[in-house]
Structure 1
Amino acid sequence: HARNSGHVPVQELEAVENLLVPALQREEDLRNGGVYVDGTFGRGGHSRSILERLSEDGRLYAFDVDPAAIAAGRELEREDPRFRIFHRPFGEMREALEGVRV
Protein backbone atom coordinates (compact mmCIF):
# COMPACT_ATOMS: atom_id res chain seq x y z
CA HIS A 1 0.00 0.00 0.00
CA ALA A 2 1.38 3.41 -0.94
CA ARG A 3 0.76 4.82 2.51
CA ASN A 4 3.16 2.28 4.02
CA SER A 5 5.92 2.56 1.41
CA GLY A 6 7.57 5.66 2.86
CA HIS A 7 6.56 7.62 -0.25
CA VAL A 8 4.35 10.64 0.34
CA PRO A 9 2.42 11.75 -2.77
CA VAL A 10 3.06 15.45 -3.41
CA GLN A 11 -0.09 17.58 -3.29
CA GLU A 12 -2.22 14.44 -3.49
CA LEU A 13 -5.46 16.01 -2.32
CA GLU A 14 -5.10 19.13 -4.44
CA ALA A 15 -4.20 17.20 -7.57
CA VAL A 16 -7.05 14.73 -7.28
CA GLU A 17 -9.67 17.26 -6.25
CA ASN A 18 -8.75 19.58 -9.13
CA LEU A 19 -8.95 16.68 -11.56
CA LEU A 20 -12.17 15.07 -10.39
CA VAL A 21 -14.39 17.63 -8.70
CA PRO A 22 -15.21 19.79 -11.75
CA ALA A 23 -15.90 16.70 -13.88
CA LEU A 24 -17.94 14.89 -11.26
CA GLN A 25 -20.22 17.87 -10.69
CA ARG A 26 -22.02 17.09 -13.95
CA GLU A 27 -24.75 14.46 -13.55
CA GLU A 28 -23.88 12.53 -16.71
CA ASP A 29 -20.24 12.25 -15.61
CA LEU A 30 -21.37 10.83 -12.27
CA ARG A 31 -23.39 8.15 -14.05
CA ASN A 32 -20.73 7.33 -16.62
CA GLY A 33 -17.87 7.25 -14.13
CA GLY A 34 -15.25 8.48 -16.56
CA VAL A 35 -11.92 7.07 -17.63
CA TYR A 36 -8.74 8.50 -16.15
CA VAL A 37 -5.02 7.93 -16.72
CA ASP A 38 -2.17 8.26 -14.22
CA GLY A 39 0.95 8.70 -16.35
CA THR A 40 3.41 8.22 -13.49
CA PHE A 41 1.97 5.68 -11.04
CA GLY A 42 4.88 5.65 -8.57
CA ARG A 43 3.58 3.93 -5.44
CA GLY A 44 -0.05 4.65 -6.29
CA GLY A 45 -0.97 7.46 -3.93
CA HIS A 46 -2.72 9.59 -6.54
CA SER A 47 -4.32 6.56 -8.18
CA ARG A 48 -5.76 5.36 -4.88
CA SER A 49 -7.20 8.82 -4.24
CA ILE A 50 -8.81 8.84 -7.67
CA LEU A 51 -10.28 5.37 -7.11
CA GLU A 52 -11.74 6.46 -3.75
CA ARG A 53 -13.76 9.12 -5.58
CA LEU A 54 -14.49 7.28 -8.83
CA SER A 55 -17.86 5.62 -9.41
CA GLU A 56 -18.12 1.86 -9.86
CA ASP A 57 -18.43 2.41 -13.62
CA GLY A 58 -15.24 4.46 -13.81
CA ARG A 59 -11.88 3.20 -14.98
CA LEU A 60 -8.32 4.19 -14.14
CA TYR A 61 -5.29 3.20 -16.19
CA ALA A 62 -1.76 3.84 -14.93
CA PHE A 63 1.72 3.73 -16.42
CA ASP A 64 5.18 3.26 -14.95
CA VAL A 65 8.47 1.56 -15.77
CA ASP A 66 9.88 1.10 -12.26
CA PRO A 67 9.61 -2.55 -11.13
CA ALA A 68 8.60 -1.51 -7.59
CA ALA A 69 5.84 0.69 -9.01
CA ILE A 70 4.61 -2.17 -11.19
CA ALA A 71 4.53 -4.48 -8.16
CA ALA A 72 2.45 -1.91 -6.25
CA GLY A 73 0.21 -1.54 -9.30
CA ARG A 74 -0.32 -5.29 -9.61
CA GLU A 75 -1.41 -5.34 -5.96
CA LEU A 76 -3.90 -2.55 -6.65
CA GLU A 77 -5.19 -4.44 -9.72
CA ARG A 78 -6.03 -7.37 -7.43
CA GLU A 79 -7.81 -5.03 -4.99
CA ASP A 80 -9.82 -3.00 -7.49
CA PRO A 81 -11.21 -4.20 -10.85
CA ARG A 82 -11.54 -0.61 -12.09
CA PHE A 83 -7.76 -0.26 -12.19
CA ARG A 84 -5.11 -1.49 -14.63
CA ILE A 85 -1.35 -0.85 -14.63
CA PHE A 86 0.79 -0.84 -17.77
CA HIS A 87 4.52 -1.60 -17.54
CA ARG A 88 5.29 1.00 -20.18
CA PRO A 89 6.51 4.60 -20.21
CA PHE A 90 3.81 7.26 -20.33
CA GLY A 91 5.08 8.19 -23.78
CA GLU A 92 3.50 4.94 -25.04
CA MET A 93 0.11 5.81 -23.60
CA ARG A 94 -1.58 6.29 -26.96
CA GLU A 95 -0.58 2.83 -28.22
CA ALA A 96 -1.41 1.09 -24.94
CA LEU A 97 -4.85 2.67 -24.71
CA GLU A 98 -5.78 2.25 -28.36
CA GLY A 99 -9.47 1.43 -28.44
CA VAL A 100 -10.14 2.79 -24.94
CA ARG A 101 -12.26 5.93 -24.77
CA VAL A 102 -10.28 8.29 -22.53
Structure 2
Amino acid sequence: MQTSMFNALLIDKPLREIFWFYGVIPSNILWAVTLAVYFSGAALTTLIFMFAVLLGYTAWIIGEIWRCSDNVKNPAHGEIARVLTAAWAINTLLLTAFLLLQRLG
Protein backbone atom coordinates (compact mmCIF):
# COMPACT_ATOMS: atom_id res chain seq x y z
CA MET A 1 0.00 0.00 0.00
CA GLN A 2 1.40 3.34 -1.04
CA THR A 3 1.08 6.20 1.35
CA SER A 4 1.59 9.82 0.66
CA MET A 5 3.09 12.43 2.92
CA PHE A 6 -0.26 14.21 2.61
CA ASN A 7 -2.12 11.35 4.31
CA ALA A 8 -1.22 12.90 7.65
CA LEU A 9 -3.29 15.93 6.68
CA LEU A 10 -6.45 13.89 6.10
CA ILE A 11 -9.00 13.76 8.89
CA ASP A 12 -11.29 10.78 9.36
CA LYS A 13 -14.03 12.11 11.64
CA PRO A 14 -17.77 12.82 11.37
CA LEU A 15 -18.75 15.77 9.23
CA ARG A 16 -20.18 17.75 12.14
CA GLU A 17 -16.78 17.74 13.89
CA ILE A 18 -14.90 18.63 10.72
CA PHE A 19 -17.35 21.39 9.81
CA TRP A 20 -17.47 23.11 13.20
CA PHE A 21 -14.20 22.28 14.99
CA TYR A 22 -11.88 22.28 11.98
CA GLY A 23 -13.78 24.61 9.64
CA VAL A 24 -15.97 27.30 11.13
CA ILE A 25 -14.22 28.05 14.42
CA PRO A 26 -10.58 28.03 13.22
CA SER A 27 -11.46 29.92 10.03
CA ASN A 28 -13.10 32.70 12.03
CA ILE A 29 -10.13 32.88 14.37
CA LEU A 30 -7.76 33.01 11.40
CA TRP A 31 -9.82 35.79 9.85
CA ALA A 32 -9.81 37.75 13.11
CA VAL A 33 -6.03 37.50 13.38
CA THR A 34 -5.57 38.38 9.71
CA LEU A 35 -7.80 41.44 9.99
CA ALA A 36 -5.99 42.52 13.16
CA VAL A 37 -2.71 42.32 11.22
CA TYR A 38 -4.27 44.18 8.29
CA PHE A 39 -5.67 47.03 10.37
CA SER A 40 -2.55 47.33 12.52
CA GLY A 41 -0.64 48.54 9.49
CA ALA A 42 1.81 45.64 9.49
CA ALA A 43 4.39 45.25 6.75
CA LEU A 44 3.17 44.10 3.36
CA THR A 45 5.16 40.86 3.59
CA THR A 46 3.46 40.02 6.90
CA LEU A 47 0.07 40.71 5.38
CA ILE A 48 0.84 38.56 2.33
CA PHE A 49 2.00 35.76 4.63
CA MET A 50 -1.25 35.97 6.63
CA PHE A 51 -3.31 35.90 3.44
CA ALA A 52 -1.33 32.88 2.21
CA VAL A 53 -1.94 31.02 5.49
CA LEU A 54 -5.64 31.89 5.36
CA LEU A 55 -6.01 30.79 1.73
CA GLY A 56 -4.02 27.61 2.32
CA TYR A 57 -6.14 26.67 5.32
CA THR A 58 -9.32 27.43 3.37
CA ALA A 59 -8.20 25.21 0.49
CA TRP A 60 -7.35 22.39 2.90
CA ILE A 61 -10.61 22.58 4.86
CA ILE A 62 -12.81 22.73 1.76
CA GLY A 63 -11.21 19.50 0.60
CA GLU A 64 -11.72 17.87 4.00
CA ILE A 65 -15.36 18.89 4.23
CA TRP A 66 -15.97 17.80 0.67
CA ARG A 67 -14.39 14.42 1.41
CA CYS A 68 -16.29 13.89 4.69
CA SER A 69 -19.69 15.17 3.56
CA ASP A 70 -20.85 11.68 2.57
CA ASN A 71 -20.62 10.25 6.11
CA VAL A 72 -23.91 11.74 7.36
CA LYS A 73 -27.32 10.17 7.89
CA ASN A 74 -29.14 12.83 5.89
CA PRO A 75 -27.43 13.46 2.51
CA ALA A 76 -28.90 16.96 2.44
CA HIS A 77 -26.70 17.93 5.38
CA GLY A 78 -23.62 16.92 3.44
CA GLU A 79 -24.70 18.98 0.45
CA ILE A 80 -25.46 21.98 2.66
CA ALA A 81 -21.99 21.70 4.21
CA ARG A 82 -20.44 21.59 0.75
CA VAL A 83 -22.33 24.66 -0.46
CA LEU A 84 -21.61 26.66 2.70
CA THR A 85 -17.93 25.78 2.60
CA ALA A 86 -17.64 26.63 -1.09
CA ALA A 87 -19.34 29.99 -0.43
CA TRP A 88 -16.95 30.63 2.47
CA ALA A 89 -13.98 29.81 0.24
CA ILE A 90 -15.18 32.16 -2.51
CA ASN A 91 -15.76 34.87 0.08
CA THR A 92 -12.27 34.35 1.51
CA LEU A 93 -10.68 34.49 -1.93
CA LEU A 94 -12.50 37.68 -2.91
CA LEU A 95 -11.92 39.44 0.41
CA THR A 96 -8.21 38.68 0.45
CA ALA A 97 -7.88 39.87 -3.15
CA PHE A 98 -9.74 43.12 -2.51
CA LEU A 99 -7.95 43.83 0.76
CA LEU A 100 -4.60 43.23 -0.91
CA LEU A 101 -5.55 45.48 -3.83
CA GLN A 102 -6.66 48.18 -1.39
CA ARG A 103 -3.37 47.93 0.49
CA LEU A 104 -1.36 48.10 -2.73
CA GLY A 105 -3.41 50.95 -4.18
TM-score of the superposed pair, with normalisation by structure 1: 0.30
Larger radius of gyration: 2
TM-score of the superposed pair, with normalisation by structure 2: 0.29
Higher strand share: 1
